[in-house]
Copies of this chain bind each other. A is one copy, B any other.
Amino acid sequence: MIPFKTLISIDKKAAMPVYQQIANGLINIIREGMIKPGTRIPSSREMAGVLQVHRKTIVAAYEELSAQDWITAIPRKEITVSKHLPELKPRSFRRTVNTASYNGSQANFFMRWREAASAPAEKQRFRLVINDGFPDARIAPVDNLLRHYRLFLKKTYQEGFIMHGDAEGSANLRSAIASFLSDTRAIHSGNNNILITRGAQMAIFIAARMIIKPGSSVIVGEPSYSIANMIFEHFGAKLIKVPVDENGIDVDAIEKICKKKRPDLLYVIPHHHHPTTVTLSADRRMKLLDIIRNHKLPVIEDDYDYDFHYNRTPILPLASADHNGYVLYIGSITKSFASSVRIGYLLAGSEFIWQAARLREMIDIRGDVLMEEAMAILFKNGDMQKHLKKAVKIYQERRDSFCSMLESELGNITRFTTPAGGMSVWVQFDKKYTVSVVAKKLAGKGLFMGDGSFYNSGKVNYNAVRMGFASLNKKELEEVGSILRGIR
């Protein structure tokens, strides 16, 4: 008899019933080939003695094994491992070390990024965090949102509507967004022009997948949002990089490229370009609209930061003008609310949206229906608008405090421009201060800051970092200031 006692581990405190633990243990033993098909196994009485459990427990385990066809029991005679099971060489899964012995179609692509990737994020927790530009969830009406979430949970079953939620997203939220966009951005759209996504990120992913094929060419800024670049290249596009200056992306350079050969896509971030936070100027916008129409140039307008302007009202999006349907407009509710509530949207013609929704269905069927319904309520009863008004005021103050702190603490070793909006400052460090080294120093003092590698594309090293000010309250800002002071 093989040493069942050592091979089958029984934990009487475990959630899984003991008989089931025994059955699973025996299955493993059979599978690993330690008992061959047709071999007799101990009677329930014998086994109960060996494993020191009640005989009824073994009977239950054997019934289970028999039901699953692993063993064959001839009542009052013998119990054997079923004969029709194929024979296996003994070898356990738990002893195989490497489970990645295959090589998929994407392996090469990802290996490029593997090499470029910075060291895995430290697992330590930080007392303070300078992020890339996230909202402060503490000032958002999250309790209010969750209250509606719970109400909908109950309502939903009464009215039955959650069960067939659309891949396009909650119709209520889509219509709330349509009127919000009309009010704030002069974009006029209907429900069937809107796809709700998981944050603006999924909207970029979907739009890119719809347009790009291997060999496509995509114009992006230099620098630009690196995960968008990664998406475009992932789908096989060649990036054409165009300079970004203090007035945004270089529109003349775009025109020159279009005159030679029309690219398949332009990716543009008009408000608070990522990472440099500049705004595309009004005259460049007009010129860009001209180029779009003349050259029939499809555009992804990633306007994630529209709702946060401090010095003046935002410039209306390209999508609000006459663009002949070439502009796909992307916005973010995540940025207006809390990073954990990942809701964004994609605006386009209704046929495009229909197709995009089929793609979204493949990616994750639909969003969190209750969260979307709850969010729709916040828009409809005006709580979101009130929140935005308040948030803009608070973030403007935080921007001002943060920038004067930066000026006094790091003014002589960095360059930055106070951003006109958004949630972060683009800070370039003097050559003598390598951002990754600075970041390591700060980490030692309990302050997380990115090492800057996220913003470098290809060979350019900006030695810069986006410093998010929006989620730091007064006390935190003071602490950050006193830690930053230490790095000079």
Contacts and interface: CB of A to CB of B under 8 A. Distances in A.
A315 interface: yes
A358 B199 contact: no
Contact of A94 (B188, B212, B350): B188
A229 to B, nearest CB: 10
Contacts of A349: 98-101
Interface in A308-334: 311-313, 315-316, 319-326
Contacts of A101: 296, 324-326, 349
Interface string A265-290: 00000000000000001110011011
Interface string A106-150: 110010011000000101011111010010011000110010011
A322 B32 contact: yes
Interface stretch (A41-49, A63-71, A403-411, A421-429): A63-71
A312 B150 CA distance: 35
A350 B100 contact: yes
A416 interface: no
Contacts of A211: 102, 104-106
7 cross-chain pairs, A with B, having the tightest CB-CB distances, nearest first: A100-B349, A99-B349, A99-B325, A105-B213, A198-B364, A110-B355, A101-B325
Given A105-B211, A149-B146, A282-B69, A164 B129 contact: yes
A47 to B, nearest CB: 18
Contacts of A67: 311-312
Contact of A340 (B69, B359, B371): B371
A163 interface: yes
Interface string A48-74: 000000000000000010011110000
A102 B188 CA distance: 19
A461 interface: no
Copies of this chain present in the complex amount to: 2
Interface stretch (A78-86, A238-246, A393-401, A430-438): A78-86
Contact of A290 (B86, B338, B340): B86
Contact of A24 (B106, B186, B230, B348): B186
- Which residue, of A126, A153, A154, A385, has the highest number of chain B Cβ atoms within 10 A? A153
A105 B102 CA distance: 29
A51 to B, nearest CB: 17
A135 B231 CA distance: 34
A364 B199 contact: yes
A315 B161 CA distance: 35
Contacts of A369: 339-340
Contacts of A160: 125-129, 448
Nearest to A281: B69
Contacts of A70: 282
Contacts of A290: 86, 88
A352 interface: yes
A362 to B, nearest CB: 5
7 contacts: A68-B312, A82-B282, A100-B351, A134-B163, A146-B146, A227-B365, A230-B361
A85 B283 contact: yes
A195 interface: no
B138 A157 contact: yes
A178 to B, nearest CB: 13
Nearest to A232: B362
A332 B352 CA distance: 30
Contact of A161 (B126, B134, B150): B126
A106 B315 CA distance: 32
B125 A161 contact: yes
A445 interface: no
A64 B312 contact: yes
A92 B188 CA distance: 11
A107 B448 contact: no
Contacts of A159: 125
